Amino acid sequence: MDAQVINEGRHEGGRAPYGYIVVDGGPHPHPRKAADGLQLRILHIDDEAAAIVRRIFTEYLRGYGDHAIAAGLNRDHIPCPSARHPEQNRHRRGDGWIGSTIRSILENPRYTGYAVFGRWTKTEVLLNPDDVSAGHTVRFRRAAPDRVVRSRLPAHPPIVTVRQFTQVQLLRREKTLAGRSRAERHGRHTRHKYLFQGLIRCTACNRKMQSSTTGPHHYYRCAPSSPAKVVTHLHSISVREDHVQGAVDTWLAELETVAVGQSSTGPNRNPATPVAGNTRDLTGLYRDLQLVAFYDYRTEVLEMSLQLPEVDARLHNRTQL
């Protein structure tokens, strides 16, 4: 298969990249398969989707990020790849563009017109390493660069030029080396310290609420990622950090009071009192307790749960903000 791609630029099957469709390209080169009426399958440009691919590359070169491009496509009500071809993406919901979809398009070299094969490798992973009889599951992972092959000559009509594709890859590498990649959000540096960063979720969409600052107050906000979620989701949901902190600290104080009443030798203190002025220590405390909070904007109720180190069970509480 590597030789067919390198020498003939053959399409080796599978789903066509967004912007292309698979069509018949004449009789199959193998005599026996041609005698059976089989056709050679080739990639052909889907004009409407190809225009979106060109827009993605152009906007990225103008300075837009993956998420900004996805947001613009959602605002223009452009169907995402899984919505345009649902028969090829039955495992996806097709409810809108996201940053990872933009990234996969920008990093796909087949848009330059050359056939590329071997970018992903199939591996079998045991379901339970301690029990081989439980079987295995298949996982696809990125192959090593030396395992990827490319055709010597263009194999199908290009959507972007090799120059554009190369400029995009150099720009993405420059952002990654500069530490500005948004692929991993955990532990990123921010101007303000947020107590509950990554710990509060929106009940409407089950997504983590984003931290932001407006004036003197810190907020946790949630905005729909696609037009399909607007039906059950406000344009923007927000809750103030001090309101959340008051509810959490009051609950922790009540738990501490109960623990002290049950044990005469237990520590008699409020968990938040020793570090009331230290945001970093409070954040560490909430994470050590494995705090998780869900905010329901309809009823303005904050549902909290945590795992105390000395209690082998999760504790739950509901508070009206």
pLDDT digits (tens, 9 = 90+) for 82-106: 888 887 777 777 778 988 899 999 9
Cα(6)–Cα(318) distance, integer angstroms: 62
Calculate the alpha carbon distances from 103 to 60, 87, 90 in Å.
10, 22, 21
- Interacting residues of 37 by C-beta distance below 8 A, sequence separation 6+: none
Calculate the alpha carbon distances from 56 to 16, 102, 146, 182 in Å.
18, 7, 28, 18
280-312 burial, b at 16+ Cβ within 10 Å, e below that, comes to eebbebbeebebbbbbbbeeeebebebebeeee
At 162 the pLDDT is 93
At 5 the pLDDT is 81
Its pTM stands at 0.55
Question: Residue 277: which pLDDT band, with cuts at 50, 70 and 90?
Answer: very low
| DSSP three-state, residue 48 | helix
At 274 the pLDDT is 37
Cα(206)–Cα(202) distance, integer angstroms: 5
| DSSP three-state, residue 144 | coil
Radius of gyration in angstroms for the set of CA atoms belonging to the chain, rounded to a whole number: 26
Residue 253 has pLDDT above 70, yes or no: yes
Calculate the alpha carbon distances from 281 to 16, 201, 219, 248 in Å.
51, 22, 19, 15
The proportion of the chain whose per-residue pLDDT surpasses 90, expressed as a percent, equals: 22
